[in-house]
Amino acid sequence: LLLYTTNTNISHSDLRRRCVLSQEEYYGCELLLADRDMVEQQADEILKGCGVSSGCHFSVVGACFGVVATTHTLVLRALNAGIQYRVIHNASIMNAVGCCGLQLYNFGETVFIVFWMDTWRPESFYDKIKKNRDMGLHTLCLLDIKVKEQSMENLMRGRKIYEPPRYMTVTQAAEQLLEILQNRRDRGEELAMTEDTVCVGLARVGAEDQTIRSGTLQELASSDLGGPLHLMIISGHLHPLEVDMLKLFSGSEGLKTLKMTDSSTYVS
């Protein structure tokens, strides 16, 4: 969302409240939906609305300086143009995942799992999961979102025709990981995880119908968590309190693949 306003008397706390409500009548101005292309390619046009007597407010979903560098680019261009900025921090999935019971300081590098295509089936995210697992750390897996994507034909012909939105599910992510495990097994590699590794699937975090499911990777590959947005966590070493929390979201079988290595550590 991009917000232009000439009312500089609106406090930041009031602006934040109005952003949550997300209705133009509360702002008293027009809201403009800005996709990534617009922010990256038309940043100078956006910043023209940020004069001395007017304010330019840029709202994002999640962390202001989160997973992508789009916001960083806009801030740097603003500063180069002599425009000051102030950050109003937002809720983020990077800390909201704590709702599943895993301790946030036990997470390693976050990975992004993309939709595979017929001619492009990357496995690089698995190597990062392996690195985290080797250190006993959990891995937060952000799942692919395809919005305003063009087919190859429309892209080559320069036609602004977009494919229907697609959102990767936990099931799809788990299926891709299972295939990667088989590929690595066939190549004789030592695996970072197995089909029995305990994972967590989350859907619509923060919503009233939020869903959390813990179980093995194999179990998550056949779990239906409902509508988007989804994400998945690959567990590392688990503290007993983390295990107790995960059992709240497991099936009737519990988490039987967990093994205790010492009095304070479980692995799978």
Residue 230 annotated as binding site: yes
In percent, the amount of the chain with pLDDT more than 90 equals: 48
Q: What is the pLDDT of residues 7-16, one digit of tens each?
A: 445 554 454 4
Residue 114 annotated as binding site: no
Q: What is the pLDDT of residues 209-244, one digit of tens each?
A: 999 999 999 999 999 999 999 999 999 999 999 999
Tokens 């009095």 found at: 263
Residue 93 annotated as binding site: yes
Percentages (nearest 5) of helix, strand, coil residues in the chain: 35, 20, 45
Residues 103 and 98: their CA atoms lie apart, in Å, by: 6
Where does residue 109 fall: left (phi above 0), alpha (psi -120 to 50 degrees), or beta otherwise? Answer: beta
Residue 61 has pLDDT above 60, yes or no: yes
Residue 92 annotated as binding site: yes
How much is the pLDDT for 129?
A: 96
Q: What is the CA radius of gyration of the chain?
A: 22
- Collect all residues with Cβ–Cβ distance below 8 Å to 4 and sequence separation of at least 6: 29, 30, 32, 49, 54, 55, 56, 57
User: Among 29-38, 48-57, 154-163, where is mean pLDDT lowest?
Assistant: 48-57
Residue 20 has pLDDT above 70, yes or no: no
Residue 189 has pLDDT above 60, yes or no: yes
Residue 23 has pLDDT above 60, yes or no: no
Q: Where are the domains of the chain?
A: 2-81, 93-267
Structure-token pair, residue 31 = 């809201």
Instruction: Work out the average pLDDT over 19-34.
Output: 65
Question: Could you say which of 2.60.40.420, 3.30.950.10, 3.30.450.40, 1.20.1260.10 is the CATH number of the domain covering 93-267?
Answer: 3.30.950.10
Q: Do the strands 139-143 and 111-113 form a parallel or antiparallel pair, or are they unpaired? A: parallel
Q: Return the top range by mean pLDDT from 12-16, 24-28, 117-121.
A: 117-121
